[in-house]
Amino acid sequence: MAEKAEGAELSSLRIKRTNITLRQQVLDVLRNAILDFRFKPGDRLIERELCELTGVSRTSVREALRHLESEGLVHNVPNKGPIVATVTLEEAQQIYEVREALEGLAGRLFASRATDRDIDRLRAANERLEKAFETGDVRRIVAETAHFYEVFLEGCGNNLIRDMIRSLNARIVYLRATSMSRPGRSPGSLGEMTRIVEAISKRAPDAAEEACKDHVRRACSAALEMLRQRRTDGIN
């Protein structure tokens, strides 16, 4: 890990004492370091080094790593220990196929069932996302996109769809960050999500479903392109 990660980039991992539980802080810090590629796919996650970086005990680090393993962001390799998980092209393709089916249905249901309050909340989430895109800060964009999807999944009114997508959430966020790292992807993504909001606002189920599927297909294309590039560059 140490040989791949830049010290300056990792200095922000130091845990600050707040009202949030220490366990949650450690988990959030390590998860974010993976999702914004400060820890890269295949990097070893050495407990001793993580303790030094975060300033917490080995027990806290170990608990966080176990949780990240359950999310699919960390793999425990025999005789090597925990490493940052890699998402293969095949796995990414499968995740996007599931997303396209589930999110298309969620968009249809949202447009069919939405209350005025649901639509107002989705519009507000999209406005927050627009402001994030204006900053160009990928971490903020990914965070606001996640918020948008929380509102979207609540609004569709189907708890099973929501829970199935949430079960893939960590890997979805990883792939989202991957797709957003492709030059020129951000403006297209915002336009696609705005079309989702417009279709739902008009309570047009067919248009909402297609807008959702189109967004996922385009995100898939961007993410797979970046994953292929990383494979070519020997990063992944």
CA distances from 181 to 90, 94, 184, 223 (A): 20, 20, 9, 8
pTM of the model: 0.76
Residue 225 falls inside a structural domain: yes
**Concatenated DSSP letters of 170-197:** HHHHHHHHHHHTSTTHHHHHHHHHHHHH
Q: Which of 33, 56, 84 is the last residue of a domain?
A: 84
CATH assignment of the domain containing 68 = 1.10.10.10
Helix (H, G, I), strand (E, B) or coil at 235: coil
Same structural domain, 65 and 32: yes
CATH code assigned at 111: 1.20.120.530
| Domains contained in the chain, number | 2
Digit-by-digit pLDDT tens for the chain (236 residues) are: 544 455 556 656 776 666 578 889 999 899 888 877 889 888 999 999 999 999 999 999 999 999 999 888 899 999 899 999 888 899 999 999 999 999 999 999 999 999 999 999 999 999 999 999 999 887 788 889 989 999 999 999 999 999 999 888 878 888 887 887 777 777 788 899 999 999 999 999 999 999 999 999 999 999 999 888 877 776 55
Query: CA-to-CA distance for 140 and 83, rounded, in angstroms?
Result: 25
The Cα–Cα gap between 103 and 99 comes to: 6
What range defines the domain where residue 110 resides?
89-233
Residue after which a domain boundary falls, among 48, 67, 84: 84
Q: Which residues share a beta bridge with 44?
A: 83
- Of the residues 52, 84, 116, which one is the last residue of a structural domain? 84
